Structure 1
Amino acid sequence: MSNKLIVMYLGNVVEEGDATEIFENPVHPYTRALMSAVPSWDPNQRKLSKLRLFGEPPSPVNPPIGCVFSTRCLYKFEHCEKERPQLNGNENHRVACFLHKG
């Protein structure tokens, strides 16, 4: 087990921080999709709706200029395709997403 997590997409860190914080409050759209896919062992706690990713995964040989997740993100802004977000937040939880500056 680890106290810290790093979530990567196409070789880029999209979210990092305290494991408990990320499991309880995933912020990046990719992290949220990953966490929604984790099955629960308790039948009463199972989620019926999973976050589905649409679009094509980008080529690792020719990645997008902007956010690496922009080709699949339901929440992207126009500038997401032109500029790569930097990790923002604090030492316990940082995310590379224009939706969540902080």
Structure 2
Amino acid sequence: MADHRIDTITALREVVVYGLFDGGGFGLREVREDMEKSGLSVPLAMDEEILESVLFDDLAELLFVDDDTQPFSHWWWHLGKIRDKTFPAEQLPAHLREVYLESEKIRSM
């Protein structure tokens, strides 16, 4: 189990650090979902980095095709709504809600 946890966190880190930096991020949702299903704790900073990239960076359009069969609690399947600011803020974890709401202020400057 410990090896799976390390492998999964490493995979998410690679997607966040390298994939999002390059504008891709392919596999992000699947890795994040795997962590959720496995009950693994996701470092808060990684989730914040994902959200900030979605809100401010030029990423592959494929990442913004939402899967509406997924619940809002699995926000990583709703990146298009998050980018478009139509995602219900109250559905985000508190640490991400703050980033999401702050982005509105930054964009209006």
Q: TM-score, normalising length from structure 2?
A: 0.24
The one of the two structures with greater contact order (alpha-carbon pairs below 8 A, sep at least 6) is 1
Per residue, is there more strand in 1 or in 2?
1
Q: TM-score, normalising length from structure 1?
A: 0.25
